[in-house]
Chain A
Amino acid sequence: MAQKYLIRRGEDREATFELRQEGGITLVRREDSDEWKVVGLERVGDSGLYLLMIDNRPTEIYLERRRGGADVTIGRHTFSYDVGPWRPAGRRAKAGAPPSGLVRIAAPMTGSIVEVRCAPGDVVVSGQVLLVMESMKMNNELRSPADGTVEAVPVVAGARVKANELLVSLRTI
């Protein structure tokens, strides 16, 4: 009996896969394809290196399991996927919608604040840049996850912040 899974990357990139077991063999099919592929995944030794077999073609791949999904490095690309059971589109959209109420926007990593582009009371829209953070000599823009009103900005430009420290709290509509 095939199980359906949804694999998401970022906000809007997703794919549906079906997975079934048959006599000790694992088969996978992309939803939009007719072709079932015989697959296998084995960890190589004790490192994060895995051997992925797709129809007897070996590929080395580097995997890190994390809550709700996995980070996958293949060639020069690293993809961060959320993997979960597939649900009908309508229910999914609802589940994926930003929560209303107070949203906490925290620092994704340790670094310093380059620029603050919002102030308490500002009305912001989803995707709007709220502040710019510098980490490892790279500037990163932090964007609003939803439409709303800025409640508080407890940081100023130039401040050093630790990972997960509160940067902006937002009252969503």
Chain B
Amino acid sequence: MFKKVLVANRGEIALRIVRALRDLDIASVAVYSDVDRQSQHVRYADEAHFIGPADARESYLNGDRIISVAKACGADAVHPGYGFLAENADFAEAVARAGLTFIGPSPESMRMLGDKIAARKLAMEAGLPVVPGSPEIGSMPEAVALATRIGFPVMVKAAAGGGGRGIRMVESADEFEDAAARAMQEAQVAFGNPALYIEKHLSPVRHIEVQIIADQFGNIVPIGERECSIQRRHQKLIEECPSVVVSPELRRSLGRHAVRLARAANYHNVGTVEFLLLADGSYYFLEMNTRLQVEHPVTELMTGTDLVKDQIVVAAGQELPYDETELLMRGWAIECRIVAEDPFNNFLPSVGRVVLAREPAGPGIRVESALYDGIEVTPFYDSLLAKVTAWGRNREGARQRMKRALAEFRVVGVATNIPYLQQILDLPDFIEGTFDTGFLDRHQVAVEEHFASQEEAAQIAALLLVTGGEPEEGHLTNGHRNGNGYARPANDWRERMTGLAAARGMGRWPKSI
């Protein structure tokens, strides 16, 4: 097993990995940019190293710098998390060349599956149903003819695409050339690879994905599906495990196909095979993500696995500790992504200082977050602030708990999408589980109710604060008491008697001090 692992990421996922490493008794090494000096992933790690300025290209995407830090501090492996370098086969190769282990699949598997055109070919050879489409498009006239044969509308996609970039829907032949040219340019800028391919635009569809994990002995286990149809502009917002429309037979069939593809790619570590599911129950392979997914907690809550821990274990060359029959599938899990975007202002990214952050807790709630009072949300990285996952004995139980958790979440200082998530959770079609990937296009943000009562409460609070005898700035006293005020207990007797300041209930951390 590894002795020390470097976490090449930031934010909530870096913290998630640091926690898994602590559970495994492996020393963790955090890396941080200029603006992340005080981050939780830094504070909770055993060791932390500065790697550069805020601009990710010079810090979290700077593979050479990260590898040299890993070597200098004596780490034996690098965990890339997701985003940044997670799907960069060259980085994985460089890590191996430096004598370290990359916690993820082999660079060969990453290349094969990361190129969407190659992945489609591999999936077809492995016997998976694939969305009707094309190989790499050559000349424009040829591509238009191909798109016409497939039938409009079609999707034009970047071979190197991901995260919703380099994708365009084209409705008709005369729009094609223009859209393809723009997608090509976008792909060139974003991924350095202009190659495009065409897929038929299927609608309505659900986005269903299968989690797999594989060790280096050829054991490949499918760990259930995730329902990820609630998306806004190809960005997932709410994910569930399981899916209301996946029967045990369909689950087995999807799982078998996912395993077949993984085997064809000689895959090890965690991965996700994405499918489009049609209303008639037929499905098509979309792509495979060769990394941990943002939405992995729903699978973990449902199956009792710890995917981050397990991927470290298999990367260290150990055998998978379970097979498919040993997995429990219990209840229902729903995840909501909390992002710093203002749903009432066209989802504009919101930056600034979070003056107050209070995360929800309570039965069935798990929070992945790197928020703290005073954190600066900067424009340098993506807008994901936190993920809330709710577990319940059934879907409705999970939904109710999620509603409670979102209502308890306090983020003051930056706008978040929490009010929008609350609206979605209350939509009748969501409650019934009747939706497809176009759901959020049909359900835009609604004007908020309760404005008048909220404003009156705010007015009363302002009045009480101002008239409560509090000075305009500086030290605040308690204002208007609620009629049953009590004196604060004097706490300084302890200090007088023992010479020790009042006890603080802090865990002893890090362990070495």
Contact = CB atoms under 8 A, between A and B. Distances in A.
Interface of A: 3, 5, 7, 15, 17, 19, 24-26, 28, 30, 37-43, 47-50, 52-54, 59-63, 65-70, 72-77, 79, 81, 83, 136-138
Nearest to B345: A138
Pick the 9 closest A-B CB pairs, nearest first: A40-B482, A41-B464, A83-B466, A72-B458, A81-B462, A70-B462, A25-B483, A26-B480, A62-B412
Nearest to B468: A41
Interface string B458-501: 11111111111011110010111111010000000000000000
Contact of B352 (A28, A37, A79, A136): A136
Given A41-B479, A66-B472, A50 B467 contact: no
24 contacts: A7-B459, A15-B456, A15-B459, A26-B480, A40-B481, A40-B482, A41-B465, A42-B481, A49-B356, A49-B410, A52-B457, A59-B457, A62-B410, A65-B471, A65-B473, A72-B458, A72-B461, A73-B412, A74-B457, A74-B458, A76-B344, A76-B415, A83-B462, A83-B466
Please classify how large the interface on chain B is, using the bins under 10, 10 to 19, 20 to 34, 35 or more: 35 or more
B109 to A, nearest CB: 39
Given A54-B457, A76-B418, A24 B481 contact: yes
B351 interface: yes
B434 to A, nearest CB: 28
A5 B457 contact: no
A150 B471 CA distance: 38
A24 B457 CA distance: 21
A30 B348 CA distance: 36
B412 A40 contact: no
A37 B456 CA distance: 12
Contact of B458 (A26, A39, A49, A77): A77
Contacts of B344: 76
Contacts of B478: 42-43
Contact of B459 (A17, A43, A53): A17
B454 interface: yes
A141 B191 CA distance: 37
A110 to B, nearest CB: 13
A65 B462 CA distance: 8
Given A28-B463, A60-B410, A70-B462, A41 B457 contact: no
Contacts of B410: 49, 60, 62
Nearest to B473: A65
Contacts of A137: 379
Nearest to B480: A26
B472 A67 contact: yes
Given A15-B459, A42-B479, A48 B356 contact: yes
B355 interface: yes
B356 A65 contact: no
The residue among A15, A19, A54, A65 with the most chain B CB atoms within 10 A of its own CB is A65
A17 B463 contact: yes
B280 interface: no
A60 B464 CA distance: 14
Contacts of A50: 461, 465
Nearest to B451: A77
B451 A7 contact: no
B125 interface: no
A5 B458 CA distance: 14
B129 interface: no
B225 to A, nearest CB: 33
Contact of A40 (B450, B455, B473, B483): B483
Nearest to B458: A72
Contact of B456 (A3, A30, A47, A136): A30
Contacts of B451: 77
